[in-house]
Structure 1
């Protein structure tokens, strides 16, 4: 791209901004080049390839995530609040849930968030190892739920498949009765239901002072 007879210059930050604008699902080196009005070869002078580009863009997106902590909340409420904030952020940034699930933390933004979680749970009596395990478990469940929610939304676009699924449900008396007994709820309501159960289980299994384990153990 030339402007006024001179080759336009761009920086790595320009590459990252263009990548964030494109979004993780559609991110390609060529897409960034097209957005910047330069050649793909020029972009490759700043990034080694698509994987490196994804890391830079994912890190830039994650840098926008700020988790608030009400210090009066007990551990379960804090963990559920963390989960809800993570869900909302991931839904606002398509592709971020999949990216975070592949490796977290992988850069300074992820490290910052994990350190904040260790500090928050530390104020509630948990040692860094247990806080890390709690945060990782809740993040994995939250992001997995977001991916499932996004996949269901894609599936619902298939009207024929949706009709078939509803017909199957209507054809089962047991499932009709079960569905009728479930209160009306939003996707976030159901998410909170699941994550509250998970957080409660973690806190009950590992109260402050109990060493963290990842294998089944007898209840105290």
Structure 2
């Protein structure tokens, strides 16, 4: 955009703020340039490309996530709470899940979350390697499940979803299985799955034990 014959000026902070308003799920160089009223060529003078833009915006968004730790919770309950906080934040900030799945941590905000978990699990008797292993396992499952939940929600009411329901309805065995599963919400299922995972991980790596080598068990 030209203003009084001169190119509109903007800062890297303006870029991050515009990208944050757009959100990671819709983020693009063109979208940010349009939001700032500048050309993409001008934007490239501040940001090297789409990947660099995603990192800037992703770290800014993750900076809004403050993990809460209740020291009274045992390790498994803490891990479930950690998973729930990741789920809620990811649902509230579309695109954040994919950002964390691709590479993590990519900057200070992601690193801060990992360090929080090292300290929190350290209070429960875990050394840093075990804390990172447990937290990473839970985060991988929590974020993966939440991203899948978001993608399923986006398909509700579509022909693809109706076809899937028809396939299930066509199986007597699946109908019997479905009839025996109590009514539940996506969050109910998430808690069920992550609780089982957290309890299994804590059994495999109890406080004070090192992370077992591949192919071994505690």
Q: TM-score range by the shorter chain?
A: over 0.9
Matches within 5 A, 1:1-220: 1-3=1-3, 7-158=7-158, 160-219=159-218
- Give me the TM-score of the superposition, normalised by structure 1: 0.93
Distance 1:141 1:54 in 2: 22
Distance 1:140 1:12 in 2: 31
Distance 2:213 2:139 in 1: 16
Structure 1, unmatched stretches of 5+, are none
Distance 1:100 1:171 in 2: 37
- What do you get for the CA RMSD once the two structures are aligned? 1.5
The 3-state SS of whatever aligns with 1:195 is helix
Distance 2:61 2:92 in 1: 10
Structure 2, unmatched stretches of 5+, are none
Q: Deviations over 1:20-73 (max 9, x none)?
A: 111112211111111011111111111111111111011111111111111111
Deviation at 1:164, TM superposition (A): 2.7
Distance 1:92 1:39 in 2: 30
Distance 2:25 2:193 in 1: 27
Deviation at 1:133, TM superposition (A): 0.5
Distance 1:54 1:69 in 2: 28
Deviation at 1:194, TM superposition (A): 0.6
Deviation at 1:95, TM superposition (A): 0.9
Distance 2:170 2:33 in 1: 53
Aligned pair in 2 of structure 1 residues 46, 218: CA closer, same or farther (>3 Å)? closer
